[in-house]
């Protein structure tokens, strides 16, 4: 369990950065075109959160395989 906590702490910045960047990008796109197609649940914030979680999981895997 301690390993999981360490991996989360090392990877949370990447997940948060991807979430914020995705949310800003999608907000700009929606305001310019009004298009909400291809969003998870029709929500920018849900889509950004999913991208952030995926990025965090990938970073945790890379960190774990790299020997922390």
Is pTM beyond 0.85 here? no
Query: Among the residues of 1-68, which ranges form H helices?
Result: 2-33, 44-65
d(CA 32, CA 30): 5
- Which residues, 6+ apart, have CB-to-CB distance to 5 below 8 Å? none
Query: Which residue, among 54, 29, 60, has the nearest Cα to 46 in the 3D structure?
Result: 54
Q: Average pLDDT of 57-66?
A: 90
58 or 67: which leads in pLDDT = 58
Q: For the segment 16-31, what is each residue's pLDDT rounded down to a tens digit?
A: 999 999 999 888 888 8
Residue 50 has pLDDT above 70, yes or no: yes
Q: Average pLDDT of 39-49?
A: 87
Residue 7 and residue 60 in contact, taking contact as beta carbons nearer than 8 Å: yes
């Amino acid at each position: 369990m301690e390993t999981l906590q360490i991996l989360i702490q090392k990877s949370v910045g990447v997940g948060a950065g991807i979430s914020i960047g995705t949310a800003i990008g999608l907000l700009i796109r929606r305001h310019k075109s009004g298009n909400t197609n291809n969003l998870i649940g029709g929500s920018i914030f849900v889509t950004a959160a999913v991208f952030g979680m995926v990025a965090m999981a990938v970073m945790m895997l890379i960190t774990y395989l790299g020997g922390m």
